[in-house]
Structures are given as structure tokens and as C-alpha cells.
Amino acid sequence: MTDDAGTRAHRLLHRTTAGIPEDLSPVTHVANLPAAEPRHTEWPEWVPDRVRDVLRNSGIDRPWAHQAEAASLAWDRHNVVVATGTASGKSLTYQLPALSTLVTDGKATVLYLSPTKALATDQLRAVSDMDIEGVRPATYDGDTPRGERPWVRDHARWVFTNPDMLHRGVLPAHPRWARFFRGLTYVVVDECHAYRGVFGSHVALLLRRLRRIARHYGAEPTFILTSATTAEPAEFATRLIGQDCVAVTEDTSPRGARTVALWEPPLLPELTGENDAPVRRSAGAEAARILAELVIEGARTLAFVRSRRGAELTALGARRILAEVAPELVDKVAAYRAGYLPEERRELESALLEGRLLGVATTNALELGVDISGLDAVVLAGYPGTLASFWQQSGRAGRAGADALVVFVARDDPLDTYLAHHPEALLERPVESAVLDPTNPYVLAPHLACAAAESALKSTDLDLFGATEARAVLDDLVAEKVLRRRPSGWYWTAREQPHHEVDIRGSGAEQVAVVEADTSRLLGTVDAVSACSTVHPGAVYLHRGEPYVVDELDLEHGVAFVHAEDPEWNTSARDVVDIEILDVVKRHVHDGVTVNLGHVAVTSRVVGYLRRLPSGEVLDHIPLDLPEQVLHTRAVWYTISEELLCGPRRRPGITGVEPARVPGALHAAEHAAIGLLPLFATCDRWDIGGVSTAVHADTGEATVFVHDGHPGGAGFADRGFAAFVPWLTATREAVLSCECPAGCPSCVQSPKCGNGNEPLDKAGAVAVLDIVLAAVGAAAGHGHFDDQAADDQVDNSR
């Protein structure tokens, strides 16, 4: 560390808060994360001289210890996942075994998969630049010209592609790839933490299809996965590839010291939101101010903002401030626009590196696969959704020898509020587990159909897909005449292949096409189930950050017509929801409280929408008349007996809830719990929903449900059940930490509440959570993050 280290970041922070009186300081916590020295090792002896020399020439003198460890495991044909920090050299861990194999075995081939085309292009460039004879790397994706494709199939030895292309372009045409599959030695799954939720479940099944086809050609490839740091990476990777996988998690790369400041924007007395609740200054506006101050200090800064429009507004805001106080710096600030062109990214990398740019506001487009590190500061406007992303983004700051500043600016929602007041949950907690569920029948069915179309499915194949679940789904597919059962297996008999009907980034549900009316251009698709709330008439729909307004939703033909328009408001749908319990998969029974996991049918009807300004101010509510939608999915729910909730039977010190306040109390507790579940499962609050009722028809008691938002579920409710106590403990803390008097978006209001956030009872929510936590045996008020579900009586009554 230089003399400056340890002080520069503090000086920068001081600058951003200059002029704010101490008692009004938005900074809720400051933490100092120490620097780490690198640990090198020698090149493994199996690395051919040729490969080693090229890598040395590219500036890598020796590998770091974790790189050599992971590469050697893969070389010995163990599936391996490397889950280490940002810029910890994960690429080398797969380049070493892949290149070594390609130069020593003339028939071997390697497949590289990345969640985005841009990342694959970047990685191809890195390998192409090495120019090692015989490696013949090539991309094969939607942008590969038709004329070049036969060459790739026939001659490329290292193919860089993405799951979508593997699904639609490679596996259905596998006979044309016979050479490639015969030699397939390694499959690299880069940034595998991106494969979570329903998309993750699709990719898990796609990888099983890949293994089956490889086996068909006599190959058993070894998988090398890279991941941001996540909890239980070995378990996650094993579930993703369907085979044992070992994890390398010790990060031996060097790291600069970082100072992390948590920041909560102030409440704005002059504005009011829904039901007259107070509104905070937006995280984007606050980030713009911080960005401008840091640029004035000459600090190279990246500000991560959740939406593209937000990124542009933040850059604009910072430029406006600079125009007044330091006009010569205005052009040092830019927004990073989507588009993901490798040239643009490289230009940005070098502009930041050389100081031509000092401040860039960006979406998470710059989170994956950009070689930008060693910045002076990173500002996060809003929690990026997962701890993995938080560390990935904040890891862009800090280089050996100088310390750097990270500022996390909380947005107006319960999770951000909680984190701003609980630094340990942000800074000391293991990152959340990535969740996926390859047994979800809604996802399994289309993949079994695709697999059968690729090559008839045999009984011996079923283990690969989870034998019990696969059999049940195959029976259904046969009954629906999608597949035909013959003694030798299951056959796809239609002429058209099923692949194009399967959207691996969708939910497995029917899709509604979003079409620009003027040009007939297909912008994207949304699930039929969520279409009423996302593309109802009047909705503002974002496509790659560009705003459109919906003119018409035609559910019968599965199409929504939109036109390009950028109104100053955004919209959020209001719906009425009903939930029916179909079965209980697991249940913990306590005195007066039960905690359950099971299947449910959620019936919803969108009845209108709110128009809201970016400041949070609500303009109006517009009614709609749309049909009911039914979602079959999984939910976690708790019930509370009336005696416990309103009667005298409680532990000392815990207050009850008057009967008239019960609906508002449960409703508020439900909203806050939805807001906090993403702390325990890698989901977004938009991936889940909730229902609460004072007396539910199926339980006969006060009940709060939190359910997955996708057909069949994606594992989020399961995580909520498994982490029930820490989840509700954090929920209670989040509500208590918010200083608003009676509920606001930072605690118990929900941006997508079907009932317009009515009724809501903030104090009642704390009482409900106290009662539940006391009944399940948790020490209320003390957040434990040990993910241990109370193990009272377990009833697996399925």
C-alpha cells in the first residue's frame, strides 16, 4: 500500500458528503475491506511449452494458485466449478486445460457456452489473439453468417456459442456436428451463476441433452464452470450439469483495499407517493450527485444503475451538476448504452483506463466479461438483486497499491432499506445459493420432446433427466400425442422439430408476442400468465431499455401491439388475486403456527394500473377490464391461529393484533417478506408474488403465502421454506429499520400490489412477525443467517 492508501477512499467519501450536517448524513455505515496479496504457483507440468510460452507472452508470468488447482482438476477429467471474485483470472482456468488438450490431441474439440453473445465474442478474441496453431477457434451464434457455418461445423475445434444456439442450432442438427461431438473433451460453462431460476432450469436440461448427444458419439466431456462467488457452488454446479462437480473457491489473486459506504437517501418532505406515504430522493438522483463529486476529485468511477433509462438519467444528472460547477469536466461523463458491441466496450475500457472518461453510468451490461478493474470508485444505485452481483460490480474498484471507494445507495424498497441498516447482511454474509429446478414438469416436458426429436429416448436415458419425474412427464406427452411410445423408446413423429417452440429464456408457459404495430417487428415475448400485468393497454413496456406504450392486448391470438413512446411516467398493474392450496409437500407444525411448502393455483385478474413518475409520485389510477389468469406453481405459506394472533395465548412481551387490524398486518408482513426473499434465493421480487388473508378458505386461519411467479415454480418458494427463520427475521428487521411513521416503499409498500397497498399496518406486521418467530422458536430481534429451518415436527404429507 502507498501512503495514500486507506485515506484516499475516505477523502473521496468525505467529498461526497461535504456540506451535509452530521445528523442528516445519509451514510449509515462505513467498512474497510483489506487488501490481499497474490499467491503464485508454477505452471503445472502437463501444460505444453507452446501454450505456456504464449500465455507468458500475453503477460501472465505464472498462474495464481487457484488457477493451477482448478485447471489441474479439469485436466484430470474432474468436473470443476471455479467460484472466485471479479477479475480473479477465471478465464485462464479453462484456457489451460482446453488449449493443452487441443495442441496435444488433434481430434479433441471444446465447446464454450456463455449467457451472452458479447461475452462469447470477447472470449473468442482472447483465444484467437493467442494464435496457437491448430486450435481453430470460432463463434457459432445468431450472427455467424450462413456461409461460414459449414466451416465451423466441419473444422473449428473450439466453438464459442450460447445456450440458445446450442438448443436451436446445434443439437437439432447433431449429425452435421458428428466430428465435433466425437472429439468433445471439454464443455466450458462461463458465468454459470447467470443460469438461475427458470432460465437455469432450462439450461440444466439443455446440458443433459448435450451430454446425451455427446454420449451418442462416444464422448464424455468434462465440464469446467466459472461463477461469481456464490454459496454452495459445488451443489449448484452439480445440479446444473447433472453430474458431480468439485468447487475451487479460494481466491489467490491480488486485491486492493476497499472502503464500502452504505448510503440511504433522505425522505423528501415536499413529495408524497401512494396513499400519501413519504418518498425518498431517488437512488439514481443521489448517484448522479455522488458521481459528479467523484469526477471533480478526479476519481475514475463506474455507477451501476438498474435500468438503462436510469443509467442515462444518472449520467445526465451528473453532467448537469458539472456544467454548473466544473464545465470542463462535463464530457468526462457518459452513459454506457446497451447494444453490447465488443468494439464499444473496448473503447469504453480504454477511455476509462486512459482517463479520457472519468465517470460512466451503466446498467449491469458492464457487469459480465469486461476487463475493467482497478477503478477508484464504484457507485451502486440500488441493490443489484444478488450478493453475487454486488461483489461482481463492486469488485471493479480497487487495484493493488491504492484503495478504492464503493458506495451502495439504497433505493426505496424493503430489501435496500434492510441492507443499508444491516451492513453484516451485505458485507459478511456468504452470497446466496443460486436456485434452479430441472424437475419442474413445465420445463422438463419441452426438453424431453426436444431430446426425443434429436434421437429417440431410451429407458436408459431417463436417469439423466431424473427418472421418476421424466417418466411421469413422458406419460403425459404420450397421452397428449406429442410423443409416441414404442417398445424401443419414445419417438417424436411430427415433421417439424419442436425446438423453435421452446423459449429457454421464457417460463415454459404460453407466450404472448409483443409487436410494434407500425413495422410488425417482433420485440419480444412475455408469458401469457403475466401478460395482463406487463403488456395491458396503456402499459409502458421496455425493450432493451427502449420505452414503448401498449395499444392493444389480444390474448386470444397471443399478441400485444405497441408503439414507440417515452412518456415521463412508468406504469404498474393492480390486480385481485386468489390462491388455492392443491397439496402440501412439507409442513412444520408449531404451537399455533404452521409453515408449509406445496403446490397452489393462483388466480389473478388485472383491474387497473397506476401511472407513476420516476420520483415515486403517483399521477393516477386507470381501471381495466381483463380476464382471469390461473398460475399453477409452488408456494411457501404460514398460518397463525386466531387465539395466538388476537387472543391471550402469547409469550410475555409479544403484543397481539386487534381483529380489525389483522388484514393490514398480514398484508404488510407479506409485502416485506416478498421484498426480503431475494436475500436468500437468487430471485428478483418480480419473480415471486404473495397473497395474505385473515381467514383462508383452505386453512381456516390467518395465512400468508409467498409463491413462485412461474408455472411449476423455480425453487424460490422452496428456498423460503428452507430459510424460513432467517428470512422472516430479516423481514422484521427491515420493517423496524425504516423510520417512516406508517409504511412506505422502503418497508411495507409494494410496487406491484394488486390492492393499491391497502390496507397496510406497519406496526401490525412487526407484531405478526414476532408472533410467528416466537412460535417457531426463533429469538426474535436477533438475525441469524444459518438458514436452518426449525426442525419441529416435519410432515411430508404429499
Ligand X SMILES: Nc1ncnc2c1ncn2[C@@H]1O[C@H](COP(=O)(O)OP(=O)(O)OP(=O)(O)O)[C@@H](O)[C@H]1O
CA 87 to chain centroid, in Å, comes to 20
**Contact between 224 and ligand X per CB under 6 A:** no
**Contact between 92 and ligand X per CB under 6 A:** yes
Q: Which is nearer to ligand X, 63 or 506 (CB)?
A: 63
HEC string of 265-334 equals CCEEEEEECHHHCEEECCHHHHHHHHHHHHHHCCCCEEEEECCHHHHHHHHHHHHHHHHHHCHHHHHHEE
Compute the least distance from the CB of residue 360 to ligand X, in Å: 16
User: What's the sign of the alpha-carbon dihedral 4, 6, 9, 15?
Assistant: negative
Q: Which is nearer to ligand X, 89 or 172 (CB)?
A: 89
Q: Which is nearer to ligand X, 38 or 756 (CB)?
A: 38
Compute the least distance from the CB of residue 73 to ligand X, in Å: 17
Compute the least distance from the CB of residue 343 to ligand X, in Å: 18
Q: Which is nearer to ligand X, 128 or 144 (CB)?
A: 128
Burial of 518 (0-12, 13-18, 19+ CB in 10 A): exposed
What residues between 56 and 85 interact with ligand X by CB under 6 A?
60, 63-64, 67
Compute the least distance from the CB of residue 92 to ligand X, in Å: 5
Q: Which is nearer to ligand X, 87 or 728 (CB)?
A: 87
What residues between 356 and 375 interact with ligand X by CB under 6 A?
369, 371
Compute the least distance from the CB of residue 67 to ligand X, in Å: 6
Task: Map grid coordinates 446425451 to a residue.
Answer: 212
User: What's the sign of the alpha-carbon dihedral 158, 162, 165, 166?
Assistant: positive
Q: Which is nearer to ligand X, 57 or 460 (CB)?
A: 57
Q: How many helices (H) and strands (E) does the chain have?
A: 24, 30
Binding residues for ligand X, how many (CB under 6 A)?
13
The whole-angstrom separation of Cα 560 and Cα 517 is: 9
What is the contact mask toward ligand X in residues 428 to 457, using x (rule: CB under 6 A)? ------------------------------
Compute the least distance from the CB of residue 86 to ligand X, in Å: 4
**Contact between 86 and ligand X per CB under 6 A:** yes
**Contact between 88 and ligand X per CB under 6 A:** yes
Cβ neighbour number for residue 42 with a 10 Å cutoff = 9
Compute the least distance from the CB of residue 631 to ligand X, in Å: 35
Compute the least distance from the CB of residue 394 to ligand X, in Å: 12
* Largest interatomic CA distance in the chain: 80
Q: Which is nearer to ligand X, 23 or 61 (CB)?
A: 61
Compute the least distance from the CB of residue 409 to ligand X, in Å: 23
Q: Which is nearer to ligand X, 88 or 394 (CB)?
A: 88
Q: Which is nearer to ligand X, 89 or 616 (CB)?
A: 89
Compute the least distance from the CB of residue 89 to ligand X, in Å: 3
**Contact between 265 and ligand X per CB under 6 A:** no
Q: Grid coordinates representing 28? A: 449509515
The whole-angstrom separation of Cα 12 and Cα 297 is: 7
Q: Which is nearer to ligand X, 192 or 283 (CB)?
A: 192
Q: Name residue 547's beta-bridge partners.
A: 542
Nearest to 563 by CA among 547, 545, 544: 547
User: What's the sign of the alpha-carbon dihedral 250, 255, 261, 265?
Assistant: negative
Compute the least distance from the CB of residue 143 to ligand X, in Å: 22
Q: Which is nearer to ligand X, 157 or 396 (CB)?
A: 396
Q: Which is nearer to ligand X, 93 or 433 (CB)?
A: 93
Compute the least distance from the CB of residue 99 to ligand X, in Å: 14
Compute the least distance from the CB of residue 379 to ligand X, in Å: 18
Give DSSP secondary structure letters for 723-785. Answer: THHHHHHHHHHHHHH---SS--TTTT--TT-TTTT-S--HHHHHHHHHHHHHHTT--TT----
Q: Which is nearer to ligand X, 300 or 536 (CB)?
A: 300
CA 580 to chain centroid, in Å, comes to 28
- H helical segments located in 230-274: 233-241
User: What's the CA angle centered on 677, arms 674 and 682, to 5 degrees?
Assistant: 130
The region of 88-96, 146-154, 465-473, 545-553 touching ligand X under the rule CB under 6 A is: 88-96
**Contact between 89 and ligand X per CB under 6 A:** yes
CA 788 to chain centroid, in Å, comes to 23
Cβ neighbour number for residue 472 with a 10 Å cutoff = 14
Binder of ligand X out of 8, 52, 66, 90 (CB under 6 A): 90
**Contact between 36 and ligand X per CB under 6 A:** no
User: Exposure string (b/e) for 131-141, b if CB count within 10 Å is 16 or more?
Assistant: ebeebbbbbbb
Give DSSP secondary structure letters for 395-437. Answer: TTB-BTTB-EEEEEE--SSHHHHHHHH-HHHHHTSPPPBP---
Q: Which is nearer to ligand X, 53 or 518 (CB)?
A: 53
Element containing residue 525 per DSSP (H, E)? strand 521-527
Residue number of the CB atom closest to ligand X? 89
Binder of ligand X out of 72, 79, 91, 121 (CB under 6 A): 91
Q: Which is nearer to ligand X, 64 or 236 (CB)?
A: 64
**Contact between 582 and ligand X per CB under 6 A:** no
User: What's the CA angle centered on 716, arms 641 and 688, to 5 degrees?
Assistant: 80
Task: Map grid coordinates 389480444 to a residue.
Answer: 554
Q: Which is nearer to ligand X, 127 or 744 (CB)?
A: 127
**Contact between 87 and ligand X per CB under 6 A:** yes
Q: Grid coordinates representing 323? A: 456544467
The region of 43-51, 89-97, 176-184, 731-739 touching ligand X under the rule CB under 6 A is: 89-97
The whole-angstrom separation of Cα 531 and Cα 526 is: 6
Compute the least distance from the CB of residue 63 to ligand X, in Å: 5
Dihedral angle, C-alpha 237, 241, 245, 248, nearest 10 °: -40
Compute the least distance from the CB of residue 698 to ligand X, in Å: 46
The whole-angstrom separation of Cα 370 and Cα 379 is: 17
Compute the least distance from the CB of residue 105 to ligand X, in Å: 24
C-alpha to C-alpha distances, 490 to 448, 458, 761, nearest whole angstrom: 9, 7, 55
C-alpha to C-alpha distances, 223 to 74, 410, 441, 453, 626, nearest whole angstrom: 8, 38, 25, 25, 47
Q: Which is nearer to ligand X, 85 or 441 (CB)?
A: 85
**Contact between 51 and ligand X per CB under 6 A:** no
Amino acid present at 713: G
What is the contact mask toward ligand X in residues 371 to 410, using x (rule: CB under 6 A)? x---------------------------------------
What residues between 468 and 527 interact with ligand X by CB under 6 A?
none
Contact 42, 65 (CB under 8 A): no
**Contact between 352 and ligand X per CB under 6 A:** no
Compute the least distance from the CB of residue 362 to ligand X, in Å: 14
The residue ranges that bind ligand X (CB under 6 A) are 60, 63-64, 67, 86-92, 369, 371
